[in-house]
Structure 1
């Protein structure tokens, strides 16, 4: 009797492990040496693969540095999509962002999480790439919020405004945490939550039918 195999699944899991190892190795090197001083050869060597194999996973080291951010984007979008369909947009997006913070910072550790954010902000090449990534993510969140509300984001600006305000509040909360002497998850969540609540204080939980006012 033949034994069932799962070669495709094994290959996929191996590729995922290698990709994750490259991200971790790259970030460790960036944090230790600086982004500009780190080479692709060094990242590949840490994972014991060739530079040629590296390019099967990433187009360059910028993609490695921003990979965690892309993962966070997916966490927010997936968390938002999983919220109850009848939940008000502000409540749903706020909960999705805070869920992302808890999962990502608890997994990587608050200090490492913040150091990566700081690395991106102080490196011009990464900051530019991160802004492009963030703009793309805001567009995806806008489309999701608009779909949940049954509105056209080209005619109704409320989904875009809500997403923009919450994403700006997230950035401010992270920047505030970088200057805070505490380095624990509860404080990080508290600051991001406070920033979101301040930014959205004038937005009602439920919107009216008129697209030009909340």
Structure 2
């Protein structure tokens, strides 16, 4: 019985050390800047050695994205759990909104939500981290496309629709993230509200004739087509 319990205790201790390193790293990154923070400063804050740090992380970059990695895995699992009758775009939308409602406890087991959100802003404003973030997003979008393809029973390499819908969704999410990062309301509620409002525009942006959606005469050119009486522009 003792032998069975010892690995559990050891794993919990390792998890506590990893979490402490993540929190110290994010606090230092957001306070002093990513580039100016050293591994020495991180390990000093936790009172461990550099060797211990590198046992958990390949470098500062991996520590910076540690919580984000958990959030992404949580979202991917949320998409997989969506009811099969939902259309792909609806499944993505409901999963991301549900994710904001349920991820808090998981994040706060490692760092305060507020620190995670400040880190998100840091990533958006730090070129080196933003480049990594965009590369990571490409990988996540490929996983999402494969998940959507499996849900819909199509071949992701033969049918472009899974990658197309995920690319559209990912683009909208990046816009919402930038708008939140540039705003003044630094809260989960604000992020969720912006995400909802941007996702609400996906359908109209793709399906609506923008020149006539508010009634005749509401277009930029006084209700006339851009170059012809049929209002279709110069496509013919």
TM-score, length basis structure 2: 0.77
Q: Distance in 2 between matches of 1:153 and 1:138?
A: 12
What's 1:179 paired with? 182
Q: Distance in 1 between matches of 2:23 and 2:103?
A: 14
Give the alignment of 1:1-214 within 5 angstroms: 5-104=4-103, 107=108, 111-201=114-204, 202=206
Q: How many corresponding residue pairs?
A: 202
The CA RMSD measured in Å over matched residues stands at 2.1
C-alpha spacing 1:66/1:184, structure 2 compared with 1 (3 Å):
closer
CA shift for structure 1 position 160: 0.8
Q: Distance in 2 between matches of 1:67 and 1:200?
A: 33
Q: Distance in 2 between matches of 1:168 and 1:178?
A: 15
Q: What runs of 5+ residues in structure 2 fail to find an aligned partner?
A: 208-236
Q: What runs of 5+ residues in structure 1 fail to find an aligned partner?
A: 204-214
Q: Using CA pairs below 8 Å that are at least 6 residues apart, which structure has the higher relative contact order?
A: 1
Q: Distance in 2 between matches of 1:192 and 1:144?
A: 21
TM-score, length basis structure 1: 0.85
What's 2:221 paired with? none
C-alpha spacing 1:140/1:56, structure 2 compared with 1 (3 Å):
same
CA shift for structure 1 position 28: 0.2
Contact 1:105 1:185 (C-alpha < 8 Å) held by counterparts:
no
Deviates more, 1:6-15 or 1:107-116: 107-116
User: Residue 56 of structure 2 aligns to a residue in which SS?
Assistant: coil
